[in-house]
Structure 1
Amino acid sequence: MMNFKDLEISDEIKKAIGSMGFDSLTPIQEKAIPEALKGTDIIGQAQTGSGKTIAYAIPIISKIFVPDKSPQAIVLCPTRELSMQVASEISKVAANIKKLKVLAVYGGQPIGKQTRVLKKGVHIVVGTPGRVIDHIDRGNLDLIGIESVVLDEADEMLEMGFREDIETILANTPHQRQTLLFSATLPKEIKQIAKNYQNNPKFIKIANKRKNIPKITQYAFRCDIKYKFNSLTRLIEAYDVNLALIFCNTKKSVDFVFKHLKKEDFKVDSLHGDMTQQVRDKVMNKFRNGNIDVLVATDVAARGLDIANVDVIINYDVPQNIDDYIHRIGRTARAGKTGFAFTLISKDEISRFNNIKNDKRIKITEKELPTLGEVKSIKIAKVLDDAGSVIRGADLNDYIKILKNESKYDNLELSAALLKMIMEK
């Protein structure tokens, strides 16, 4: 396995990579970086979480001539969230290169702020195709000096309707540029873009080991559609969920689940494509900071999310296909952690579920929903376990004195009453 120190890159980049905690290259990095450093065009088929951001960040940063303050590299991403994440990662790789500027441009943020930064000089622009086109049309972004173009999650961009924008941007960049294309899948539209806009690209495919998902325990539960929401709350309570991401197929379904969880006093919020970027940012910050325990979202709204410590993914609606399923459950078990993925299946979703379950890469165990009695027993055990932690770790002498002197009830009866109050509050 190759180490970053073995690469022919600057000491500044090596130092930054070391500071980020990386030593060995991932498979996509090992295959793509040396080729990209030579100036070769690349088609990289790799999944989210494979390390592809660094696989293209190192080569594009290596080519930047810092005294020239005009844009020299542009990275296109499908969503605002991914654009921000990628810009942050590139900035970390370039942290030791003085005066190298990276800017994320996306919708939902006042365009004036982005314009001012662009006018001051930016070396690497990361953004969504729509906002990049907007800046080009306004004369804020001149692509004449672009030497590197990256299409990140190209299949997602096409799925979201960005093909025309992508081709417009590519047509506005110099013909001799280097084009690096990364995509989880390679539909014919991607192959056509590669044919039209790349020069003898090297194809690199990385087997998606994460598709076996050994660290994610996957369960499926059949339920009556009339009681699907009750089944959801039962799962959340039975598995003592700390941080959960619930996926729905539609905005209507998101709104329904969010509204009813809120009525049940869960710390919950929602995320879907119809929300303004300002609202979506606010929701994401609440989820990242632990101000909410449950986030209900659609697939598009959750593209590019990388939230640490999500311990349970719940498919309230069975996803449309295997790729969506893999993308959803990949939001848990990040950075070597373990996680759970639950799928609720109503009668009209059985066929769609079977298509997913029958995929050889997936290992889903079907289970019975926990009964109300089992949920109650689990909750009681949790309360008693928490009480045991207090007994072991706290000074209870003052409280013991109060109970000895003031209580007219038997200790067992009093404990039972307190337990009943906790369970029924």
Structure 2
Amino acid sequence: MMNFDDFNISDEIKNAIGDMGFEKTTPIQEMAIPLGLAGRDITGQAQTGSGKTIAFAIPVLEKLFIPDRSPQSIILCPTRELCLQVADEISKLGKYVKKLKVLAVYGGQPIGKQTRVLKKGVHIVVGTPGRVIDHIERGNLNLIGVESVVLDEADEMLDMGFRDDIETILKSTPRQRQTMLFSATMPTEIRKIAKNYQNNPKFIKVSNKKENIPKITQHAFMTNHKYKFDDLTKLFEVYAIKSALIFCNTKKGVDFVFKRLKKNGYSSEALHGDMTQKTRDRVMNKFRNGNVSFLVATDVAARGLDISNLDFIVNYDVAQNYDSYIHRIGRTARAGKSGCALTLVSKEDFANFNNINKQSKGKITQKKIPSDAEIENIKLNRILDDSLNSIKIDNLEKYIKIIKKKSSADISSEKIAAALLRKLGEN
């Protein structure tokens, strides 16, 4: 891996990168940044969380002419959430670039506020396709001076039906522009866009070297649809899950799981497309801030959702296809961390699961739902392991004295320890 200092970039951006805590590049950054700085069109295949925002943001920022306050770069993202993340990251990267203006435009926010900022002048617009089109049609956004276009999470934008909007936007920009396209997968539709709207693009892909694959433990559990929810809560016990993102295939399924979790005392929220943007923002912020433990969501609602330190993904319903499965489990194991993906498979899910399992090439381990007795044993052993670790690191003299005082010929310290273990296991 290279250092960012190895690139021919401005001191302002180097200083900002240092403030952000980055030294070494990720694989996609090492491949994309030199090409981007050279003005090449790029088609990049990389998963969410691979560091691609920095990969395209550095070339975009280096190309800007700050005295010109008309839009010089347009970055398209599938969701409001991702727009805000990308705009925030670019702003951090450009914090030492004086008078830089970056604006996120998206649905769900009053258009008047965005219009006023656009009229004052911005250098970079980060937007969802629908709202960008809206501003173009209202005369608020003129892309005639755009020098670089970025399509971020292109496959998700196509999945959400934005193809026509993307093409309309691309046609509104100059033919002599730099176009950088990034996508987790490369279906035929993405390749068509690359062919029609890019100029001799360089295709780059993060290699599947072992060190670049997220450290995600993947398990699947066969279940009966009738007992699926009960098996879900058993997995909470087995893996000591305190927080998780739970995927269902339908809004109806999301509501069912959410209501059952609430009824059983679990701190949870639901997220699906029928909610207003304001409600979705509130729910996502609660989950991100740790104010709610379990978020139950559909694939579309969770797009663009980036949560740091998310250890568990649970597929209550098996994903419809392998690409969707990869998008789901990619929400964990960010930035080199490890994560765990658990999938419940009922009879109705066999066809989809078998297809996903085949494409995963053996990465999904099939396991049995433990019995109640096995779960109790797992919990007791976990308590014992924690206790043994406490012996190594904690000062236990006060507690040893209490145990000695209570023990006798009839009541040994072993019996007291066993009674304490039983009490803790019942909680």
Is the structural similarity TM-score above 0.5?
yes
Tell me by how many angstroms 1:50 deviates. Answer: 2.2
Unpaired runs of 5+ residues, structure 1, are none
Task: Report Cα offsets for 1:323-353 as digits up to 9, x if no partner.
Answer: 1111111111222222211111101211211
Task: Report Cα offsets for 1:388-412 as digits up to 9, x if no partner.
Answer: 8699469978xx79x99xxxx9999
Retained in 2: the 8 A contact 1:46–1:208? no
The verdict on how the C-alpha distance between 1:362 and 1:250 changes in structure 2, with shifts beyond 3 A counting, is: farther
Q: Name the counterpart of 2:19.
A: 19
The answer to whether residue 286 in structure 2 is matched with residue 279 in structure 1 is: no
The answer to whether residue 317 in structure 2 is matched with residue 317 in structure 1 is: yes
The answer to whether residue 28 in structure 2 is matched with residue 31 in structure 1 is: no
Greater Cα offset, 190-199 or 124-133: 190-199
The verdict on how the C-alpha distance between 1:124 and 1:28 changes in structure 2, with shifts beyond 3 A counting, is: same
Retained in 2: the 8 A contact 1:33–1:56? yes
Q: Name the counterpart of 1:181.
A: 181
Q: Name the counterpart of 1:353.
A: 353
> Structure 2 CA distance, aligned partners of 1:25 and 1:354?
36
Tell me by how many angstroms 1:312 deviates. Answer: 1.2
SS at match of 2:113: helix
Q: Name the counterpart of 1:151.
A: 151
Q: Name the counterpart of 1:89.
A: 89
Tell me by how many angstroms 1:385 deviates. Answer: 6.8
Task: Report Cα offsets for 1:10-58 as digits up to 9, x if no partner.
Answer: 1111111122222222222222222221222121122222221111101
State how many pairs are aligned. 419
Q: Name the counterpart of 1:217.
A: 217
Retained in 2: the 8 A contact 1:42–1:202? yes
- What is the 5 A alignment of 1:92-241? 92-209=92-209, 213=213, 215-241=215-241
Q: Name the counterpart of 2:368.
A: 368
> Structure 2 CA distance, aligned partners of 1:194 and 1:69?
29
Tell me by how many angstroms 1:283 deviates. Answer: 0.8
> Structure 1 CA distance, aligned partners of 2:251 and 2:13?
43
> Structure 1 CA distance, aligned partners of 2:49 and 2:373?
40
> Structure 2 CA distance, aligned partners of 1:355 and 1:266?
32
Retained in 2: the 8 A contact 1:211–1:362? no
The verdict on how the C-alpha distance between 1:346 and 1:394 changes in structure 2, with shifts beyond 3 A counting, is: same
SS at match of 1:220: strand
Task: Report Cα offsets for 1:406-425 as digits up to 9, x if no partner.
Answer: xxx99999998987777667
> Structure 2 CA distance, aligned partners of 1:198 and 1:96?
31
TM-score by length of 1: 0.90
- What is the 5 A alignment of 1:301-340? 301-340=301-340
SS at match of 2:314: strand
Tell me by how many angstroms 1:176 deviates. Answer: 1.4
Greater Cα offset, 356-365 or 270-279: 356-365
> Structure 2 CA distance, aligned partners of 1:39 and 1:334?
29
Tell me by how many angstroms 1:2 deviates. Answer: 2.6
Greater Cα offset, 258-267 or 93-102: 93-102
> Structure 1 CA distance, aligned partners of 2:81 and 2:210?
22
Tell me by how many angstroms 1:376 deviates. Answer: 2.7
Task: Report Cα offsets for 1:193-252 as digits up to 9, x if no partner.
Answer: 222222222222332457984622111110111000000001012211122111111111
Q: Percent identity?
A: 68
> Structure 1 CA distance, aligned partners of 2:397 and 2:113?
55
Retained in 2: the 8 A contact 1:47–1:208? no
SS at match of 2:300: coil
Q: Name the counterpart of 1:252.
A: 252
Retained in 1: the 8 A contact 2:214–2:337? no
Counterpart of 2:14, as a letter, is K
Counterpart of 1:227, as a letter, is Y
SS at match of 1:200: coil
Greater Cα offset, 339-348 or 208-217: 208-217
Retained in 1: the 8 A contact 2:214–2:334? no
Retained in 1: the 8 A contact 2:307–2:331? yes
The verdict on how the C-alpha distance between 1:141 and 1:226 changes in structure 2, with shifts beyond 3 A counting, is: same
Instruction: Note the aligned Cα RMSD (angstroms).
Output: 2.8
The verdict on how the C-alpha distance between 1:297 and 1:94 changes in structure 2, with shifts beyond 3 A counting, is: same
Q: Name the counterpart of 1:293.
A: 293
Retained in 2: the 8 A contact 1:212–1:363? no
Counterpart of 1:18, as a letter, is G
> Structure 2 CA distance, aligned partners of 1:213 and 1:354?
22
Counterpart of 1:180, as a letter, is M
Greater Cα offset, 321-330 or 192-201: 192-201
Task: Report Cα offsets for 1:279-319 as digits up to 9, x if no partner.
Answer: 11111111111111111111111112221121111111111
SS at match of 2:74: strand
Tell me by how many angstroms 1:131 deviates. Answer: 0.8
Retained in 2: the 8 A contact 1:356–1:362? no
Retained in 2: the 8 A contact 1:74–1:149? yes
Greater Cα offset, 185-194 or 207-216: 207-216
Task: Report Cα offsets for 1:168-190 as digits up to 9, x if no partner.
Answer: 11111122121111122222222
> Structure 2 CA distance, aligned partners of 1:304 and 1:174?
28
SS at match of 2:302: coil
SS at match of 2:39: coil
Retained in 2: the 8 A contact 1:242–1:311? no
Greater Cα offset, 160-169 or 354-363: 354-363
Tell me by how many angstroms 1:5 deviates. Answer: 1.0
TM-score by length of 2: 0.90
Tell me by how many angstroms 1:3 deviates. Answer: 2.0
Q: Name the counterpart of 1:59.
A: 59
The verdict on how the C-alpha distance between 1:360 and 1:223 changes in structure 2, with shifts beyond 3 A counting, is: closer
Counterpart of 1:77, as a letter, is C
